[in-house]
Structure 1
């Protein structure tokens, strides 16, 4: 896996490979910690059953045939809106000469203003259940310098199968999220969002299960600095990475040399996940508690977590909410879980799943 931090590589990556994927990830948490969101644009949706089935039949399949977007909004760590929608290739635009993605009515664009990056996200959607969302958000942050001294590990065939581009470790986020939700009488409300956000860009050249066994990742925006971590177990090797990044100039203050996972337990679907992560380096310690499950599926979990930063020499003791995630990609290919995927992901063509047409039942899948 190759680690970089380069906004000039935030455009569409070519060439594409059968079984590969590419996604642009954005998240944010409000200043008061009440609201958070995660928005992901995909070219080559690795969770698409059409894509998975084609690959399982050993059929060559281009990522460009499987674009999608996922949108999740949380209030007090509980989901108030969730969607995962596939689109036809003809209704999407991925540009290689500028930071621009358009998936159906959803659009993301990045621009450079001197030493700052600005991203605008414009989304609008109505679900088969009747829920609606409109999003207008702006991310703004300083362009990071050379954050990483090393480019990461290659696999045993000396290939780079996955690239992680940390584009914006920390950004100011402002805008609004308008929701129309409810079982009988739709509730229309607008969240005026002001907070801190994060953006990265992932690219893979093969199915995720071929590249790694499982993967923890997350970020926490302390007043002192931002914690970003990337913990990947791969075949015959591990890649455990974590950094404290300065909030002013996006420079790495500390690279953690000791990372441990504790308190493993099984989820409802038998997914074994560590719920406590410890990071230590040169008298600095961070503990992450993965507590509130925001997304609890058979192969993926998202947590509304809390992290504790302790630097005794500088008398710094701080706690912050944040977002952390875990995935075990081999489980995506297990037929046992495919009915659950069909309930959650709306396919590009055909009628929506009957569960998706019910407000009450579709919310149960959240």
Structure 2
């Protein structure tokens, strides 16, 4: 995997091979810790059963990823999901302006250069078949020392992970109208800390790795970002960084990592719930404690992390989003009925489960 930190380099060409994919990932926690938001724009949606089916039928002559755009949006209140959507669009609903702006239906992502560095503006608007509605206007702003790069984005590795905003200040508004929630409408002035990355690959994820853990935590003194990938060839690739919270510059690199306390999900997905990370000066224990998205091939956790820097007498804790995926399972058709309940095709009649608030919540 090729790792970058270039906030303005978002070129569509790096993932236009059949089987390729890319996503723009954003998460944010409110200053109070009450609300968490996760927003992911996809091109070549790797969870799309339509995309996978077309690739299996057509092989290397298969469809371009731009034919399968999508977006997932999750809102959590006190560790519980209160809004979830995963919407798949047609190619005609999607447009991309090189390095600056992406549109999917009524959703917009735009990057701007500011005096401080980089700012991503997200404008979201959606109404679900069950009646839930969401509108959001959010700015992710971060200090970046890199200059804008408009040059070609050559893809030497099969996967690129661009840490565009390891730590960002997030401001904006969020409006939710939730059916059957006892509150007809809620308007939130959102202020907190966020994270943004951009991932791209030129082949299905299952061709490169068997599973992948990754996460990020915003302590007062440092930001932690880590990943662990168990490769298809049996090797393990892992890395973690401690970054300065003001400049996003790397302070320390990982020395070693351990995964412990394996647990099985109701879908037979096995993942480690504890990760121990060792640096030269610091030690961090991650506890993936609360499962907020539990599927047959993917899990998202609201996790706790504990930081210790003995030489500086530092002892801190933080809450953050962590994730786990086993991509081979995405291609197992036995799980596709569950996937089709979750993913809404915007130009087709919605699944009958998606029309019921109570039943749709069961798929979360």
TM-score bracket for this pair, using the shorter chain length: over 0.9
| Match among 333, 336, 356 for residue 334 of structure 2 | 336
Residue 15 of structure 1: CA displacement? 6.0
Equivalent in the alignment of 1:122: 123
Residue 95 of structure 1: CA displacement? 1.9
TM-score between both structures, scaled by the size of structure 2: 0.94
Residue 145 of structure 1: CA displacement? 4.7
Equivalent in the alignment of 1:113: 114
Alignment pair present for 1:70 and 2:67: no
Residue 182 of structure 1: CA displacement? 2.6
Secondary structure in 1 matching 2:12: coil
Equivalent in the alignment of 1:269: 267
| Match among 226, 231, 243 for residue 228 of structure 2 | 231
Residue 215 of structure 1: CA displacement? 0.5
Equivalent in the alignment of 1:30: 30
For the residues of structure 1 that align with 2:253 and 2:136, how far apart are their CA atoms? 35
**Correspondences of 1:89-100 after superposition (within 5 Å):** 89-96=91-98, 98-100=99-101
C-alpha change, 1:144 and 1:218, in structure 2 (3 Å) is farther
Equivalent in the alignment of 2:142: 141
**Correspondences of 1:1-366 after superposition (within 5 Å):** 1-14=1-14, 16-59=16-59, 60-96=62-98, 98-145=99-146, 160-183=157-180, 187-236=184-233, 237-366=235-364
Secondary structure in 2 matching 1:168: strand
Secondary structure in 2 matching 1:338: helix
Residue 348 of structure 1: CA displacement? 3.6
1:261–1:278: 8 Å Cα contact kept in structure 2? yes
TM-align CA RMSD: 1.5
Q: Deviations over 1:330-366 (max 9, x none)?
A: 0001111000000000024321100000011001111
2:15–2:21: 8 Å Cα contact kept in structure 1? no
Q: Deviations over 1:180-200 (max 9, x none)?
A: 003286620012111000000
Segment drifting more, 2-11 vs 169-178: 2-11
2:15–2:22: 8 Å Cα contact kept in structure 1? no
Which structure 1 residue ranges, 4+ long, deviate > 6 Å from structure 2?
A: none
TM-score between both structures, scaled by the size of structure 1: 0.94
| Aligned residue-pair number | 354
C-alpha change, 1:36 and 1:144, in structure 2 (3 Å) is farther
Residue 88 of structure 1: CA displacement? 1.1
2:137–2:174: 8 Å Cα contact kept in structure 1? yes
For the residues of structure 2 that align with 1:207 and 1:57, how far apart are their CA atoms? 14
